[in-house]
Structure 1
Amino acid sequence: MTTSSTAAPRGASSTATKTTAKTAGTAAKTPTKRVASRLRVKDDESPWSEAEIAEVRQILIDEIEEHRAEVEVAERELDEVLRASGDGAGDDQADAGSKTAERAHEISVAANARAGLLQAEHALEQLEAGTYGICENCGNPIGKLRLQARPRATLCMPCQEKHARH
């Protein structure tokens, strides 16, 4: 993995990448059978199998790597936009507005990539800790089908629906 030569924007954690590398390395070493036996499921679902856990783990590791690359690209592009925009002296209103919109877009892209990375890391950490699949709002199982469709989910469907309405 290559690291970006740019400074991380405000709010970014330089330890996120280090934590991810450590977590991803640990993920491959944790016995899948032990993890599967600790995970809760809904009453009408079968327990997690070793193959299902291995598949979810690999999806999360792949997402982490993908989001790392996205963060690196977004931060590099943001740095380029910031360097190119200079101090704005002599810009007319249209140029200033265009540069502001471009900066806002690049900041948003970088923030979204970091958020996705943190969510995937959090899900992988939960998987390894045996707390994966528990709704962070109500404490009930999220459901295997939902987690297989969206491995980073942290809320069960009823809580997610309530959250989306607010």
Structure 2
Amino acid sequence: MTTSSTAGPRSTAKKTTARTTATKTSARKIAEQLRVKDDESPWNEEEIREVRGVLLEEIEQHRVELKLAEDELDDLLRASGDGAGDDQADAGAKTAEREHEISVAANARASLRQAEHALEQLEAGTYGICENCGNPIGKLRLQARPRATLCMTCQAKQDRH
């Protein structure tokens, strides 16, 4: 047992170093694969790590938001009972609050899916390609909105409809 406790920190340090090296190699490979617009510089490892970090933070944030919204909705449903004896104003307020929590949960779930999809695309080397026209989305747009799946032209067309 004493041997494993002394080996533990070294083993952890080796795993961390291996993970960091793998991440650098992975970031380098991803950067080499990603397409950019003609007037943009290629992605570099630092930019890839930054975008990955932002996406991971968003994923965690949306998971927390979703859990809170679902818990709040569960609490509302338990507290509301069958609604017997509620006047119209109380029933309306409860319905509005319930609908609000359903909406919050749906938005968090959709944002979570988008962030997870973007991370999957990043890892696959297909990140930054417009899902509509197949052209590069653009680094600046992706750095501002890492979950973007459409180039500005296709996004504008979609917004008009």
TM over 0.5: yes
| 2:92 partner amino acid | G
Determine the structure 2 residue equivalent to 1:137: 132
Determine the structure 1 residue equivalent to 2:86: 91
| Structure 1 consecutive aligned stretches of length 4 or more whose deviation exceeds 2 Å | none
Is residue 2:121 matched to residue 1:126?
Answer: yes
Choose between structure 1 and 2: higher helix proportion.
2
Q: Find the aligned partners of 1:40 and 1:86 in 2 and give their Cα distance.
A: 55
How far apart are 1:68 and its partner, in Å?
A: 0.8
Determine the structure 1 residue equivalent to 2:104: 109
Q: Find the aligned partners of 1:75 and 1:116 in 2 and give their Cα distance.
A: 15
How far apart are 1:41 and its partner, in Å?
A: 0.4
CA RMSD of aligned residues (A): 1.4
Q: Find the aligned partners of 1:88 and 1:50 in 2 and give their Cα distance.
A: 57
Q: Find the aligned partners of 1:31 and 1:99 in 2 and give their Cα distance.
A: 50
- Secondary structure of the equivalent of 2:128? coil
Q: Deviations over 1:74-122 (max 9, x none)?
A: 1100100111111111111111111100000000011111111111000
- Report the TM-score when normalising by structure 1: 0.81
Q: Which runs of 5+ in 2 are unaligned?
A: 1-18
- Report the TM-score when normalising by structure 2: 0.84
Q: Deviations over 1:14-69 (max 9, x none)?
A: xxxxxxxxxxx9xx757110001110100111110011001000000011111111
Structure of higher RCO (CA pairs closer than 8 Å, 6+ residues apart): 1
Q: Find the aligned partners of 2:158 and 2:75 in 1 and give their Cα distance.
A: 36
Higher alpha-carbon Rg: 2
Determine the structure 1 residue equivalent to 2:58: 63
Over the matched positions of the two proteins, sequence identity in percent amounts to 77
Q: Find the aligned partners of 1:85 and 1:140 in 2 and give their Cα distance.
A: 51
Q: Find the aligned partners of 1:107 and 1:85 in 2 and give their Cα distance.
A: 15
Q: Deviations over 1:116-146 (max 9, x none)?
A: 1111000000000011000011111000000
